[in-house]
Amino acid sequence: MQTKIEKIDSSSALAVKIIESQQDQSLDFLSFREKLSFANISHPDKKKEWATARFAIHDALKALEVPYPGFFKDEHGKSQAMNGQGFVSLTHTFGFAGAIFHRELPVGIDMDLVREKILKIGFRFLDPAELEFLEKDPFHYTMAWSAKESIFKCQGKRGVSFRENILLEPFEVNAMKIKGRIRGTDFADHHYTVDVRRLENVILTYTIW
Ligand SMILES: CC(C)(COP(=O)(O)OP(=O)(O)OC[C@H]1O[C@@H](n2cnc3c(N)ncnc32)[C@H](O)[C@@H]1OP(=O)(O)O)[C@@H](O)C(=O)NCCC(=O)NCCS
């Protein structure tokens, strides 16, 4: 299974994997609870996505020499380590799955396929100030969308609106970092820096609290 592992620093690492039809890795490392969750996914493509994201987090943890703790979903849908140590975030999109782990700080990761149709839904997730600086370019829009997803996942609570509560500072289409903040919620005034990578026609973003 093709994997790209990036050790960000001594406390954090991310891994991206290609979702393949045949799995050559074993899922034995999963906790009992995770094995049950996996067994309950009926759609074959969803099963592959879910499993590949878990292989990705397994590989990211290996890069940091952290034993796989098993993860459960909290009431917001965010994965939490079963031993309460460290923070994780997972993502999957057409053909890829990824994961990030940090020993001490909340993290968010997202991957999105760049598609023309995102230009039509900008008004749903962008503030007028963001619509102003973004070029009518699906890459630029997808970067904004993905940065907001990463920020959303990092903070982890449902009910935070992409359009109303997550505001991005102006950035160029070739930017490697995007700055943003959450406003108008209990988490107002937290400022995030989102890292951006391009993997062919997929945008990957991640942020560390
Ligand atoms: C839940 C949500 C974060 C999932 O993102 P997505 O791009 O659809 O899917 P991804 O594959 O990138 O991420 C899925 C992972 O997000 C994680 N996730 C789900 N809820 C989460 C939360 N509240 N916090 C952090 N991570 C979460 C899960 O680990 C999930 O993977 P898993 O099901 O394999 O465990 C997203 O759809 C969402 O709800 N966003 C907020 C709602 C919103 O404002 N949408 C825009 C309106 S225009």
Tell me which residue has its CA closest to atom 20 in ligand 1: 77
> Can you tell me the distance from the alpha carbon of 206 to that of 26, in angstroms, rounded to the nearest whole number?
27
Tell me which residue has its CA closest to atom 38 in ligand 1: 149
> Can you tell me the distance from the alpha carbon of 44 to that of 54, in angstroms, rounded to the nearest whole number?
16
Task: For 62-71, write each residue's pLDDT tens digit.
Answer: 999 999 999 9
In the block, residue with structure tokens 């026609």:
201
**Would you say the CB of residue 87 lies under 6 angstroms from ligand 1?**
no
Mean pLDDT, residues 92-114 taken together: 95
How many other C-beta atoms can be found within 10 angstroms of the C-beta atom of residue 207?
27
| Ligand 1 centroid distance, CA of 153 (Å) | 7
Domain parsing of the chain, residue ranges? 3-104, 111-208
201 pLDDT tier (thresholds 50, 70, 90): very high
Which of residues 199 and 89 earns the better pLDDT score?
89
**Would you say the CB of residue 145 lies under 6 angstroms from ligand 1?**
no
Q: Which pLDDT score, from 0 to 100, does residue 158 have?
A: 86
Contact criterion met (CB below 8 Å) for 4 and 88: no
| Ligand 1 centroid distance, CA of 174 (Å) | 25
> What does pLDDT average to over the chain?
93
Mean pLDDT, residues 16-23 taken together: 83
| Ligand 1 centroid distance, CA of 157 (Å) | 10
Q: What SS3 state is found at 30?
A: coil
Q: Choose which residue among 80, 127, 153, 157 to substitute to test ligand 1 binding: the one with the highest number of ligand atoms within 8 A of its C-beta.
A: 153
Answer yes or no: is pLDDT of 168 > 80. yes
Architecture in CATH for domain 111-208: Alpha-Beta Complex (3.90)
Kindly state the DSSP code that residue 76 receives in the 8-state scheme. Answer: T
How many other C-beta atoms can be found within 10 angstroms of the C-beta atom of residue 144?
28
Q: How far is CA 201 from CA 125, 136, 138, 139, 148, in A?
A: 21, 17, 10, 8, 18
For the record, the structure tokens of 20 come out as 């393949």
| Ligand 1 centroid distance, CA of 49 (Å) | 13
Give the whole-number percent of the chain exceeding pLDDT 70. Answer: 98
| Ligand 1 centroid distance, CA of 109 (Å) | 10
Q: Which pLDDT score, from 0 to 100, does residue 139 have?
A: 97
Q: What is the pTM of this model?
A: 0.94
Mean pLDDT, residues 106-121 taken together: 96
Give the whole-number percent of the chain exceeding pLDDT 90. Answer: 84
Task: For 33-46, write each residue's pLDDT tens digit.
Answer: 999 999 999 999 99
CATH code matching the domain that covers 3-104, chosen among 3.40.50.300, 3.40.50.720, 3.90.470.20, 3.40.640.10: 3.90.470.20
Answer yes or no: is pLDDT of 1 > 60. no
Asked whether the CA dihedral 140, 13, 109, 154 is positive or negative, the reply is: negative
Q: Same CATH fold, 111-208 and 3-104?
A: yes
Q: Which pLDDT score, from 0 to 100, does residue 37 have?
A: 93
Q: Which pLDDT score, from 0 to 100, does residue 188 have?
A: 64
Backbone angles phi, psi at 148, to 5 degrees: -65, -40
